[in-house]
Amino acid sequence: MRKLFIALLIIGTGIYAYVQNNPAVIPSFTEESVRNRIAIPEAYQNRLSNVQVSGSGKVIRILRDDNKGIRHQKIILRLSSGKTLLIAHNIDLAPKINTLQKGDLVQFYGEYEWDSKGGVVHWTHHDPNGRHVDGWLKHDGRKYE
């Protein structure tokens, strides 16, 4: 019985150490909403906001950066559905995509807000306070978060 207890203690300690060094193996509360994300066409059709979405689109327009208050890089993408989507990427918290050009493919993961023009995705960056699901943009093999 003592050997069994010691073996279980060693195994438990090993599992604890592994999880401490690899926290991604245990989903956090914020990652739960990632699993429950929905598709952009559904969010648009149902006028949903504050939902996590992911996808990709072709850059059809690069707008001027919004430098009032919190700075954002603004990009309009055309999705495979034909809809357009505004990406508002916080460049105070994440790097700006300096090499972006019209026609480029951009992948995204962030929070969708409905509007009549197709919607906006923001929170495409990490949350320094750890209260929101981290988002990102991907362009030319680089992740911007």
Q: Supply the pTM of this predicted model.
A: 0.73
Model confidence pLDDT, tens digit, residues 95-132: 999 999 999 999 999 999 999 888 999 999 998 888 89
142 closest CA partner among 106, 93, 112: 106
The two three-digit tokens of residue 55, written as one number: 């996808």
Rounded Cα gap, residues 118 and 112, in angstroms:
10
Question: Among candidates 141, 127, 128, 138, which has minimal Cα distance to 54?
Answer: 138
pLDDT digits (tens, 9 = 90+) for 44-54: 889 999 999 99
Q: Residue 127: name the closest of 40, 29, 48 by CA.
A: 29
Backbone angles phi, psi at 96, to 5 degrees: -75, 150
Residue pair 120/112 in contact (Cβ under 8 Å)? The answer is: yes
